Amino acid sequence: MNVIPLPAGLERRSVDELFESVVAAVDGRALFDARHVRFVDPNGMVALLCAARYLLDRTGMPARLQLPESTDAQSYMARIGFFAAAEGMLEWDHRPPRAAAGDSNVLLQITPITRNADVHEVVDRVQSAAGAILSRTLGYPQTAVVPFSVILSEVCQNVLEHAEAPGWVAAQAYNWQKRIGRHVLVISVGDMGRGFRGSLAEEHSARFGERWGDATALEAAFIHGLTRFPDSHRGQGIQQIRKQVRRWNGAISIRSGTARIADVPEWDDAPPLQDHLAPFPGAQISMILPSREPIDG
C-alpha cells in the first residue's frame, strides 16, 4: 500500500507537493492520508480529484481516502461536493458526512465537465449567485456578472476542446484578512487530459525545435496567444481570461505537465514561471479575484 500524506492546508500552494507524492508512488494501491488536513479550497479539491483519477487510470483500482480528523474539513468537503464527485475514484475509511444545505460562500460546487451541456449548466447555475458574491462580497459592479460568466464558460470549454478527458470546476469565496486583508473568490478548473504541450504540439512544436516542452507551451499560449487552431481568430480564450482577471487585479496560474505559469499581481508572491515540477498530465487553472476594498477592521 502506497501511503500519500496530504498537507494540513490542501490548496493552491500545496498541490505540487500532492502531485509529486502521487507520481512517486510505486505500482499498487494507494492510500491518501488526510487525517491532518485542516483547510481545503477548490484548488486542493480539484487537484485531489485529478490525483485520484491518475491513480485509477494507472492501477485500475480506486485509491482509499483516510478522512480528516477535523470535522470542519470533512464538512467543507461535503458542502463543496467532493465526496459525490469522487465516487468511483476513491473509497473511504468510513462513511463521509452528508452535505449540509446552504453555504452562501460556495458559488459553485465541484461540477464535472464532460460535454457542452455541462458548460451551459455551470454558467446558468452561477448567474444569480455570482451577482450576490461579486457585488456584496467583492464590491464589483453588477455589470461584472457577464464577463465573469464568460470567463467561467471559457475555462470550462477549454477542458472540452483541449483536454479530451474528465475535468472539474469549483468556486468559493473566502475571507483572506490575514493574508491580504480582503475577501477573495477562488476558482479552480482541472482536467486529466493532454495538457498544453500535447494540445499545441501538432501546430507549433516544430517552430520551437529542441526548446519545445511544457514551459514553452505554456508561454506560447499564455503570453503569445498561440492556439492549436490554424485560424488565428479561434481559441483566444486564455488570452481574454488573462486580460479580464488582470483588470480585476486578480491572480491566474496554469499548471500543466512539468510547469506552471502565472500572472502575479502585487499582493501575490507566487513565481511567474516554474519548470521541472513533477510530471502530471492534464492542466489546472487557478484564479483568485480579490475584493475591491480592504476588509474593515
Tell me the one-letter amino acid at 86.
A
108 in the same domain as 177: yes
91 in the same domain as 125: no
Task: Yes or no: say if 279 and 16 are a contact pair by the CB < 8 Å rule.
Answer: no
* Gap between the terminal Cα atoms of the chain: 49
235 in the same domain as 93: no
pTM above 0.85, yes or no: yes
Contacts of 8 (CB under 8 A, 6+ apart): 36, 37, 38, 39
156 in the same domain as 276: yes
278 pLDDT higher than 90: yes
Query: Which whole number is the average pLDDT over 108-116?
Result: 91
Angle 46-73-248 from CA coordinates, rounded to 5°? 50
> pLDDT of 207-260, one tens digit each?
888 899 999 999 998 988 877 655 544 445 788 899 999 999 999 999 999 999
> pLDDT of 21-40, one tens digit each?
999 987 789 999 999 999 99
Q: What is the CATH number of the domain that holds 189?
A: 3.30.565.10
261 pLDDT higher than 80: yes
Per DSSP (E only), the strands in the chain are 2-5, 9-10, 30-33, 39-40, 63-66, 90-92, 106-113, 167-176, 182-191, 251-257, 259-263, 273-274, 280-290
Structural domain of 242: 104-297
| pLDDT at res. 239 | 84
Q: What is the CATH number of the domain that holds 96?
A: 3.30.750.24
Cα separation, 90 vs 105, whole angstroms: 26
> pLDDT of 124-182, one tens digit each?
888 878 888 999 999 999 999 999 999 999 888 888 776 677 799 999 999 999 999 99
- Total structural domains within the chain: 2
212 in the same domain as 165: yes
- Helix (H) / strand (E) element for 214: namely helix 214-222
Q: What separation in angstroms does the CA of 222 have from each of 100, 240, 261, 268, 272?
A: 39, 10, 8, 18, 11
Residue 32: HSE in the Cβ half-sphere, 13 Å Cα cutoff: 31
